[in-house]
């Protein structure tokens, strides 16, 4: 016997077909899409390690990657190239994949949580809250005793503080309602942004202000192997919970009344999604800065490929986000080499026209086809 919670609610595309409306667009077969992304992701990681301001042959890049993975030995004259590939570029590519996957997965969850097509991981105000702690380190040298961990620790702690503040303000007798979450997150975003802007203008050193602005626009330039496990652990844990909650997300996306009729406790689910989204976003912002548009654009694009079922969305969106951010980071390094563009600038430049084209498609509606 199938319980109400285990049934996947009908998506708008199904109801449109049953009611005689226009047939939904053809979907890409999920196994084929997963195979393609499974091949594209490791190839993108190799390209992330091989492309940059310093020209290296692909043979050398593959040799250095193999030496790093297997612990092989290298000649003394190969050490500089190995350092560039294994210590600088490859951890940066891996971190880009982790951050892109996390932002895309959280974007799916946030859009279901607040039932708003314009929602993304930063709508909760967590990113701007994390920026306050990061700027305190970059500009004023706060937590200097922590050394290389000062930036990530300060930004994560301030993200948690922002999460707590948003939760306390948005909470009401009816729980975390979508409207209160969006309004509170937006208000806190502008408030924290004002604080960070004041800190930048109050900086006595111009280089500190420039570093702060670079971080606020998103950058993977500080990626190291030590920063990957923290972000990867947060993403894996958050994604596991979201996949486990995929059926409930399907119900929530259809509205609170429908979800309640199917046996879903919407208040509890929304609280779970808020905590998971905020924790993952805080961990990612701590290592990469505020990279926008990935969590907004990727879920919409993936819905066009696989539909609105969150089981399929959460299988594909993280892979798409990972591949996307790897290539955006590559572009940030090579377009103006040896200078580097903030990653967030490129995600906006790519995301805005893509999002406009996506919205212009008459066949697309949020949550459906």
DSSP letters for 176-230: S-HHHHHHHHHHHHHHHHHHHHHHHHH-S-HHHHHHHHHHHT---TT--TTTHHH
What is the reported pLDDT for 170? 82
What are the pLDDT digits (tens) for 279-308?
A: 888 888 888 888 888 988 899 889 888 888
What are the pLDDT digits (tens) for 156-213?
A: 888 888 888 888 888 877 777 777 888 888 888 889 888 888 888 877 766 667 777 7
**57-360 — its CATH code?**
1.10.3470.10
pTM for this model (two decimals): 0.84
Cβ(219)–Cβ(288) below 8 Å: yes
Cβ(108)–Cβ(367) below 8 Å: no
What is the reported pLDDT for 324? 95
What is the reported pLDDT for 4? 46
What is the reported pLDDT for 22? 45
Which stretches of the chain are DSSP H helices? 12-18, 30-50, 58-70, 79-82, 90-114, 126-140, 150-170, 178-202, 206-216, 228-244, 246-253, 256-261, 266-288, 294-306, 310-334, 343-360
Q: What are the pLDDT tens digits along the chain (369 aa)?
A: 444 444 444 444 444 444 444 445 567 788 899 999 999 999 999 999 988 877 788 998 999 999 888 888 888 888 888 999 999 999 999 999 999 999 999 999 888 888 777 777 777 788 888 888 888 887 887 777 777 778 778 888 888 888 888 888 888 777 777 778 888 888 888 898 888 888 888 777 666 677 777 777 888 887 889 889 988 999 999 999 999 999 999 998 888 888 888 888 888 898 888 888 888 888 888 888 888 889 888 998 898 888 889 999 999 999 999 999 999 999 998 888 777 888 888 988 887 887 777 667 655 555 544
């Amino acid at each position: 016997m199938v319980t109400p919670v285990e049934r996947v609610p009908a998506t708008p595309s199904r109801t449109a077909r049953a009611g005689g409306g226009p047939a939904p667009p053809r979907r890409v077969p999920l196994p084929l899409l997963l195979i393609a992304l499974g091949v594209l992701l490791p190839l993108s990681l190799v390209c992330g390690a091989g492309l940059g301001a310093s020209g290296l042959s692909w043979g050398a890049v593959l040799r250095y990657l193999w030496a790093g993975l297997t612990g092989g030995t290298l000649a003394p004259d190969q050490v500089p190239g190995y350092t560039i590939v294994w210590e600088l570029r490859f951890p940066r590519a891996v971190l880009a994949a982790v951050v892109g996957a996390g932002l895309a997965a959280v974007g799916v969850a946030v859009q279901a949580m607040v039932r708003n097509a314009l929602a993304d991981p930063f709508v909760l105000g967590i990113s701007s809250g994390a920026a306050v702690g990061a700027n305190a380190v970059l500009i004023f040298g706060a937590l200097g005793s922590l050394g290389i961990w000062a930036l990530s620790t300060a930004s994560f702690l301030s993200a948690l503080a922002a999460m707590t503040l948003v939760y306390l303000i948005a909470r009401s007798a009816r729980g975390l309602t979508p409207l209160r979450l969006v309004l509170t997150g937006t208000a806190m975003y502008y408030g924290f942004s004002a604080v960070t802007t004041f800190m930048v203008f109050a900086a006595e050193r111009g280089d500190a202000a420039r570093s702060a602005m670079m971080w606020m626009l998103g950058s993977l330039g500080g990626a190291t192997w030590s920063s990957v496990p923290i972000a990867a652990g947060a993403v894996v844990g958050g994604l596991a919970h979201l996949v486990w909650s995929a059926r409930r997300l399907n119900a929530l996306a259809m509205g609170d009344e429908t979800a309640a009729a199917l046996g879903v406790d919407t208040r509890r689910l929304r609280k779970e999604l808020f905590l998971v989204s905020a924790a993952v976003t805080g961990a990612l912002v701590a290592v990469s800065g505020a990279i926008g548009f990935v969590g907004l654009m990727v879920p919409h694009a993936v819905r066009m490929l696989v539909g609105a079922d969150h089981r399929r969305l959460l299988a594909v969106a993280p892979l798409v986000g990972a591949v996307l951010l790897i290539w955006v980071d590559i572009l940030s390094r090579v377009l103006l080499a040896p200078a580097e563009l903030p990653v967030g600038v490129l995600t906006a430049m790519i995301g805005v026209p893509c999002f406009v084209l996506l919205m212009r498609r008459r066949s697309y509606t949020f949550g459906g086809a």
